[in-house]
Amino acid sequence: MSRWKDLSSGEFALLDTVFWSTGLSRDALAQRSAFSKTRANAAVAGLLERELLEEAGLQASSGGRRAGTLRLHRGLGVLLGADLGATGLRVGVLTPDLQVLARHVESADVRKGPESVLSRVRALMRQLLTEAGLTPRDVIGIGMGVPGPVNFEGGQLVNPPLMPEWDSYSIREDMKADFEAPVFVDNDVNIMALGELWRMQRTLQNFLVIKVGTGIGCGIVCQGQVYRGATGSAGDVGHICVDPAGPRCHCGNLGCVEVMAAGPAIARMAREAVEAGQSVLLAETLAATGTILPEDVARAVRAGDTAANAIVQRAGSLIGQMLASVVNFFNPSHVFFGGSMMRIGPLFLASLRQSIYQRSLALSTRQLEIQVTPLGEQAGLIGASVLAMQETLRMNGAAR
């Protein structure tokens, strides 16, 4: 940590540029920085000397000569990332240039409350560090995504509907039991958006990431930045009404897209299909395991089950109907889908696509790309680590 004690704000900006431009050559870096080429080269030399940057070998050729690339120095320490979903968690140890050194995934229930879940997260983090031959002292920043609305400054959840016990709980204080490094917390789908923004090196400026799992959320990138809204709840699309005569949601309103089309709704529709005698396959699953999980519906879809197909198409159509409004309003260049429900496969994405294209204004969809998240199920973990590195740099840079 002491290595960045005497840096200027310009040098911090340069570190930030390197972080957001993995694989960039020195020449390209000079162009992206606010410095002249001569000054940028001098600053880079100084940062290499102080072991804040290091050479990262040769850049893949793109026609011209091969140029040496730069990255944040791995001797700076490591980042810890945690991606908490409603029913699972993913923890990892990453280098400052976001190579994953160790990671672990397991199911979890956030409703067990913050003490229980965070104590497990801390234990896993310590264990992964040990496996990598590291200690908590090597950690320079911790980033965490959580499935609910977050007060970003305070690092706390605010009235999270899925996990009421977490309301205003100090995640930062809790993490201090094991780690001294600064802790940054954001909504789970905001960090997915941040992860994708980093992966694309900010080449896309206006896009959405939709997570479909136990709930439905949306991360918004606007003009090259993650947009959190006036009070931090931007992207809370799960409670957009798609049917005023629909079932009551846990939020109190009727016909929210989340209660009609997210994971639990898909499982509920599957149980109804079994009761109506529409699916032998799903009936067998229910008989064998006593329940039907969203994964079972996904498996039935892949096995060609007609009832399961209809359920997935209905869910995709409802989510697409909600997104058509959002696309008309926001006119993004890309909509990326992630979250556990995307494991259902191509049929689900196809229904989402069809519904959005059908109901959006032609102008908004003329160049719209609809895809699964390029980082896949890693998006949250990578995003949490981007958050950790970006905010750690910002904190040190702002303290100049």
393, 395, 399, 400: CA torsion to nearest 10: 20
Stretch that binds a copy of itself, among 51-59, 271-279, 318-326, 370-378 (CB under 8 A): 318-326
- Closer residue to a copy of itself (CB): 240 or 307: 240
Query: In 3-state terms, what secondary structure has residue 183?
Result: strand
CA distance 187 to 128: 24
Q: How far is the CB of 167 from a copy of itself (least distance, A)?
A: 12
- Is residue 333 part of the contact set for a copy of itself (CB under 8 A)? yes
Among 158, 200, 349, 372, indicate the residue that binds a copy of itself (CB under 8 A).
158
Stretch that binds a copy of itself, among 35-43, 107-115, 327-335, 345-353 (CB under 8 A): 327-335
Residues 251-280 that bind a copy of itself (CB under 8 A): 251, 253
- Is residue 218 part of the contact set for a copy of itself (CB under 8 A)? yes
Number of residues that bind a copy of itself (CB under 8 A): 46
- What residues have CB less than 8 Å from 182, skipping those under 6 apart? 141, 142, 391, 392, 395
- Is residue 328 part of the contact set for a copy of itself (CB under 8 A)? yes
CA distance 209 to 213: 13
- Closer residue to a copy of itself (CB): 67 or 241: 241
Among 239, 339, 379, 384, indicate the residue that binds a copy of itself (CB under 8 A).
239
Query: In 3-state terms, what secondary structure has residue 211?
Result: strand
CB 297 within 8 A of CB 314: no
- What residues have CB less than 8 Å from 121, skipping those under 6 apart? 82, 84, 89, 91, 144
**Interaxial angle between packed helices 294-302 and 280-289, expressed in degrees from 0 to 180 and rounded to the nearest 10:** 140
Among 70, 240, 308, 384, indicate the residue that binds a copy of itself (CB under 8 A).
240
- Closer residue to a copy of itself (CB): 2 or 231: 231
β-pair partners for 146? 187
- Is residue 324 part of the contact set for a copy of itself (CB under 8 A)? yes
- What residues have CB less than 8 Å from 91, skipping those under 6 apart? 80, 81, 82, 83, 103, 104, 121, 124, 125, 128, 381
- Is residue 200 part of the contact set for a copy of itself (CB under 8 A)? no
Q: How far is the CB of 244 from a copy of itself (least distance, A)?
A: 8
- Residue closest to 79 by CA, chosen among 379, 376, 384: 384
Among 233, 278, 309, 354, indicate the residue that binds a copy of itself (CB under 8 A).
233
- Residue closest to 386 by CA, chosen among 20, 1, 7: 20
- Is residue 237 part of the contact set for a copy of itself (CB under 8 A)? yes
- Is residue 288 part of the contact set for a copy of itself (CB under 8 A)? no
How many Cα neighbours within 13 Å face the side chain of 372?
A: 19
Stretch that binds a copy of itself, among 111-119, 135-143, 204-212, 278-286 (CB under 8 A): 204-212
Residues that bind a copy of itself (CB under 8 A): 149, 158-159, 205-207, 218, 220, 222-223, 225, 227-237, 239-241, 251, 253, 321-322, 324-326, 328-333, 359, 361-364, 366-368
